[in-house]
Amino acid sequence: MASFKQKKISKGQTLADKLNKARLSQDLEWEEIHKATNIQIKYLQALENGDYNELPGDIYAKAWIKVYGEFLGLPSKELLVDYKIEKALGDRISKIDNPQPINKPNSFHILKPKVIKASLISILIFIFLGYLGWEINNIIAPPEVDVWEPNNNFKTTDSSIMVRGRTKAEVQLTINNELVLLDKDGNFSQTVNLVSGLNNLQISAKKKHSQANNLELVILREVLQ
């Protein structure tokens, strides 16, 4: 068995180089070292190859370096310093070669094709539903009627009055339940007979499937004495 006499380490060598050179210089076999140090051969070889990631942990690595170095007659403190430096350097290189994926903020996920596609579909559906709602409301909503003349509470001595106004061309318009003809633009002009005193003109406008828009005009016919 080799003595524990420390040997001088030359500058510029790695920890693995130092262990390997010391073992070869003493012509030691792996089995012999294993029996003397109780370190498994695969871990001895990992130390000599600088494969520190093959070791079960940092605590084991440092303990085995100390035991193996002393067995070979090398200064264990210097070997542990070498290990610390080389391990840190190796970890840094490993991080550069195998960068960890960066978790992007949620705002970046918005730019993913699937998200963009889903957003566009949602927008189109929203527009379609809005348009459909507008169309349905346009169908069932009471049509607008604009009566130009006469004004409500109008007074006259005439036996009849001309009612003029405008609505939609497709509207069915009645005044006092009498159908009123509309021109192509929805304009109407209808003569209505008046009785003495108060006259309530009932104007009703309705489309095919809509609700009715009912208006009332009060006209006072004064009789001259």
pLDDT in tens, 40-92: 999 999 999 988 888 888 899 899 999 988 999 999 899 999 888 888 888 78
Task: Mark whether 164 and 118 lie in a shared domain.
Answer: no
Given the structure tokens 């498994």, which residue do they identify?
40
Long-range CB contacts for residues 57-62, cutoff 8 Å, separation at least 24: 58/87, 61/87
Task: Mark whether 48 and 121 lie in a shared domain.
Answer: no
pLDDT at 191: 94
Task: Mark whether 19 and 64 lie in a shared domain.
Answer: yes
Neighbours of 23 (CB within 10 A): 20
Q: Helices 58-72 & 41-49, crossing angle to 10 degrees?
A: 90
Short-list 10, 6, 22, 17, CA closest to 83: 17
8 occurs within a structural domain: no
DSSP H helical ranges for the chain: 15-25, 30-37, 41-49, 58-72, 76-97, 106-109, 113-140
pLDDT at 223: 81
pLDDT at 110: 55
pLDDT at 91: 79
**End of a domain among 62, 97, 132?**
97
CATH of the domain at 46: 1.10.260.40
2 occurs within a structural domain: no
Q: Domain tally for the chain?
A: 3
Task: Mark whether 136 and 152 lie in a shared domain.
Answer: no
pLDDT at 6: 46
Low-confidence ranges of the chain (pLDDT < 70): 1-12, 97-111, 225
Task: Mark whether 212 and 171 lie in a shared domain.
Answer: yes
Which residues constitute the domain of residue 186?
146-221
**End of a domain among 40, 62, 97?**
97
83 occurs within a structural domain: yes
Task: Mark whether 47 and 71 lie in a shared domain.
Answer: yes
